[in-house]
Each structure stands twice: as structure tokens, then as C-alpha cells.
Amino acid sequence: MTTTTTTTTTMTTFLKLIRWPNLIIIVLSMSFMLVFIIKPGLDIKVFSDGLTFAEFALLVVSTLLIAIGGYIINDVSDINTDSINKPGKNIIGKMVSVEFAYRLYWITTCTGIITGALLSYLINQINFSLIFVFSAGLLWFYSQKYKCQPLVGNIVISFLSSLSFALVWLFEFYALSNNAAVFVNVQSDFPLINRLLIIYMGFAFMVSLLREVIKDIEDYKGDNRFGCLTFTVKYGISASKLIALIVAYISLFSSGLIQYYFFNANFNLLFSAFFLIDLLLIVIIGLLHKASSKPNYTRLSLMIKILMLVGILSMILFYFEI
């Protein structure tokens, strides 16, 4: 009984450490982009032309491992601030030693880069290995430097959040280019895929940026205590709230433009689905205007996660538009 309890506790701790809900969102984002956007948009079969199942699995695993490494090194850097921002919830330093966390960081990050390099080699684009090195490097510098620079860290994380969509199309494109007959046949559909990619990358970037700014407000107390000069610490909660509102309003306006495009393109299901995104953004803006305490901002963070999930799920509808 004790052994079973210990195993369960260890597994729970590990899942919390690697942010398993975030990993699920990454897997869904990449899988849905391939299965529900790219493949039907090009009218080709999944894993038949372009990336094989094994190659796509390598891309997802590489992305996940580098993301896990980023979460771990970020938690190591946040030991002090988390003791105030998340009292009693610290994993590293209590349930997991710093030394073990560092080892796990290097194992996951290096394995992720090697996996990405293998995939790049398989599609005859070995230079794409640099993408994975670059992503891992950005996550390292974020944890060590960028996160405590006003808005810089927020933008870096938002960019990396949107990058997973682009990676799928980039590797699929060059995998297709290795089959000249198929590549020429689907070339006329590339502009449609590019437009949808921009839509979902932009959506992911803006929603992630909104959540990052709100997260800084949540973490103000600990960041201020230990001298982490986020935008909130340097300019105050009111200024950060204003930035969050600007991002939210821009997101709502952008959602309207996206709906206008869907309407003109006769993508009626997607046009209708974005009304739910509009509604969620309006609710978030309303809550943001009224927010005045940490629990308020914590609830907003949850709402933004729901918004991100709804946006990802909307990709399924494109399959039925074609």
C-alpha cells in the first residue's frame, strides 16, 4: 500500500513538474493543424503524402521535450519567487532536488534537439536542426534573463507558443517537396494554408501574450520581492492591466476580421464558431475591467486557457468546410 502511494505521489509530482495540461494543448495544436487544416486543405491523405506518422511523431516529441526542458529550467529559476507567489506548491527544492531538476532539464532538452535533428535529416533539411537549438536557447535565456525584462519575456513565450503551428506546416511543406508530382499538384492550395496558418499563429500569439501579462500581475508580489523587473514590477499593476486590456481589445477586433474572412470564403462553420471566441473575449474584457485582486487574475488565467482550447478545437470545423 505504501509503495503504491509513493508511486502515485511521484507520478503526480512529475506530471505537475512537466505541466501536462500545457503538453496536451501542444499535441492538440500540432495534430489538429496537420489533420484538420493542412491535409484537407491540400486534399491529401494523412501520413500518405508529406510527413509519415513516424516523422510527425518525431516532430511532436521533439517539441514536447524542449517545452518540458523549458518548464523545468523556469521552475528552477523561480524557486524564490514561487515561494511567495505559490506558497506550499513549490516542487523543485521540496519534492524534487535542484540537482535532479538540472539533470532532467539537460536530458529532455538535448534529447529534444537530437530528435529534431533526426527529423530534419529525414526530410533532407538538416539545417532545420537550428530551429530546435534556437527554441531551446530562447527558453534558457527566458528563464535566466528575458522573463525579468519588461514585456520581452512575455513576447518570447508568446512567440514560442505560436511556433508549434508553423513547425507543422514548415516540415510538411519540405516533406512534400521531396515528392515532385504531389508537390506540383497541391501547390495551388498553398495560399489557403498560409492564410489559415497566419490566423491560428496570430490567435495563439495574442492569447498567450494576454495570459503572460496577466500572469505577471498574479506574480507581482514575489517578482517585486526578489527584484524581477517585469512590466508589472517596473510600471505598476494599473499599467499592466491597461496593456492586458489593449491586447484583449486587439484580439477581439482581430477575431472580427477573421470572421469577415471566413464569411467571404464561405467557411460558415468557422464563421459561427468564432462567435464563441468573441463571447469569451468579451467576458474576459469585462472581468479584466473589474479585476482588483490576485484571485480575480487567477480566474482570468483560467478563462484564457479555455479561450485557447476553443480556438484550437475550432480547427476541426475546417475539415467539414472543404
**Predicted pLDDT of residue 92:** 84
* Confidence at 271, pLDDT banded by 50, 70, 90: very high
Highest averaged pLDDT of the listed ranges 11-15, 21-25, 109-113, 225-229: 109-113
Q: Mean of the pLDDT values across residues 46-71? A: 95
Q: What distance in Å separates the CA atoms of residue 24 and residue 114, rounded to the nearest whole number?
A: 22
- Residue 53 is predicted with a pLDDT of 96
Quick check: 228 and 147 in contact, CB under 8 A? yes
Nearest to 36 by CA among 246, 204, 267, 265: 267
Closest CA to 306 of 317, 314, 318: 314
Phi first, then psi: what are they for 96, rounded to 5°?
-130, 130
Report, as an integer, the average pLDDT of 7-19: 80
How many percent of the chain have pLDDT more than 70?
A: 97
> Alpha helices of the chain — where are they, by DSSP H?
2-17, 20-32, 39-42, 53-77, 79-85, 98-122, 129-144, 152-176, 180-186, 190-218, 220-225, 231-235, 237-264, 268-290, 294-313, 315-318
Task: Note the pLDDT of residue 205.
Answer: 97
Residues 170 and 216: beta-carbon distance below 8 Å: no
DSSP 8-class letter at 92? B
Residue 1 has pLDDT above 70, yes or no: no
Cell 538540472 appears where? 102
Our measurement of the distance from residue 62's CA atom to the centroid of its chain's CA atoms, rounded to an integer in Å, reads: 14
Confidence of residue 3 (pLDDT cuts 50, 70, 90): low
Binned at pLDDT 50, 70 and 90, residue 6 comes out as: low
pLDDT at 86: 78
Q: Are 321 and 268 in contact (CB under 8 A)?
A: yes
Domain spans in the chain, listed from the N-terminal domain onward? 10-318
Q: Which residue matches cell numbers 535565456?
A: 141
Least confident residue range of 2-6, 70-74, 172-176, 311-315: 2-6
Instruction: Give the pLDDT confidence of 134-154 residue by residue, as tens digits.
Output: 999 999 999 999 999 999 999
pLDDT digits (tens, 9 = 90+) for 151-183: 999 999 999 999 999 999 999 999 999 988 899
Tell me the pTM. 0.93
pLDDT band at 97; cut points 50, 70, 90? confident
pLDDT in tens, 191-246: 999 999 999 999 999 999 999 999 999 999 988 888 889 999 999 999 999 999 99
Provide the b/e sequence for 221-245 (b: ≥16 CB within 10 Å): ebbbeeebebbbbbeeeeebbebbb
Whether the per-residue pLDDT at 2 is higher than 80: the answer is no
